[in-house]
């Protein structure tokens, strides 16, 4: 007799490969977002020093911080979803079985996350195009152009949809018995620890290149 599991496993492999590719992209974007956090801190510190030491400030310095905070939030949403760090009502879901938890995620992704992200992403396009065509600039003196900030909305939600697709693949693969439970939380390093390691790694790369 032919083992029926082999055709099923073969059929799911391309989907898991797609999920892995999406996760790899999301991981790279997440590491980029780590650097944005450092950039925001440096800009904020420099703005405070210049304002106190030289009695000089500009709305552009404040607005670039707002833009970067928006970029961190929107571009990091998919990364947070991949790391299973979004807020959950654990007091309820923690009492449920692993299969039930994954079924809840499947239904949540299909009937709530996908529609919400698609609608917001779709509705953000007219605002982006109008802002770009008109060359919209902040009403604050010395403010920045607006369209790059508006661009973050469709891009961020597109990345969230992409990662949600990967999560949906993993949930279904678990329910069919192909992979371990993707909802299991592993002991992970904090964002600060990972940022410090990334800085150290980049420093080692630069040192090796100069040598």
- The more confident residue out of 155 and 11 is 155
* Least confident span in 23-27, 150-154, 156-160, 184-188: 184-188
Quickly state the pLDDT bin for 61 (edges 50, 70, 90): confident
What are the residues whose beta carbons fall under 8 Å from the beta carbon of 76, sequence distance 6 or more?
29, 30, 33
* Residue bearing the bigger pLDDT, 21 or 200: 21
CB 100 within 8 A of CB 183: no
Query: What's the whole-number mean pLDDT along residues 184-203?
Result: 67
Alpha helices in the chain (DSSP H): 5-54, 59-75, 77-82, 90-93, 98-108, 114-134, 147-175, 191-210
Residues 165-182 have pLDDT tens digits of 999 999 999 999 999 999
Mean of pLDDT over the chain: 87
Distance between CA atoms of 85 and 65, rounded to whole angstroms?
Answer: 24
User: Which pLDDT band, with edges at 50, 70 and 90, does 30 fall under?
Assistant: very high
Is the model's pTM score more than 0.95?
no
Compute, in degrees rounded to 10, the torsion defined by CA atoms 33, 81, 118, 168: 140
* CA triple 30-68-206, angle to 5 deg: 55
Contacts of residue 143, defined as CB under 8 A and 6 or more positions apart, other chains included, come to 59, 60, 63, 137
Question: In the beta sheet, which residues pair with residue 145?
Answer: 137
């Amino acid at each position: 007799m032919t083992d029926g599991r082999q055709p099923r496993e073969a059929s799911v492999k391309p989907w898991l490969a797609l999920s892995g590719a999406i996760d790899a992209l999301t991981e790279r974007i997440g590491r980029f977002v780590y650097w944005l956090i450092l950039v925001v801190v440096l800009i904020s510190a420099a703005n405070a020093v210049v304002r106190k030491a030289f009695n000089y400030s500009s709305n552009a310095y404040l607005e670039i911080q707002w833009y970067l905070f928006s970029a961190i939030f929107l571009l990091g949403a998919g990364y947070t979803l991949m790391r299973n760090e979004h807020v959950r009502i654990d007091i309820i879901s923690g009492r449920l079985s692993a299969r039930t938890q994954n079924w809840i995620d499947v239904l949540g992704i299909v009937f709530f996350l996908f529609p919400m992200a698609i609608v917001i992403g779709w509705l953000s396009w007219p605002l982006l195009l109008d802002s770009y065509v008109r060359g919209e600039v902040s009403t604050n003196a010395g403010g920045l152009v607006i369209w790059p900030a508006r661009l973050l909305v469709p891009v961020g939600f597109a990345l969230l949809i992409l990662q949600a697709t990967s999560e949906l693949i993993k949930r279904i693969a678990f329910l069919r018995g192909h992979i371990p439970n993707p909802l299991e939380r592993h002991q992970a390093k904090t964002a600060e620890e990972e940022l410090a390691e990334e800085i150290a790694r980049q420093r080692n790369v630069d040192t090796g290149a100069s040598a």
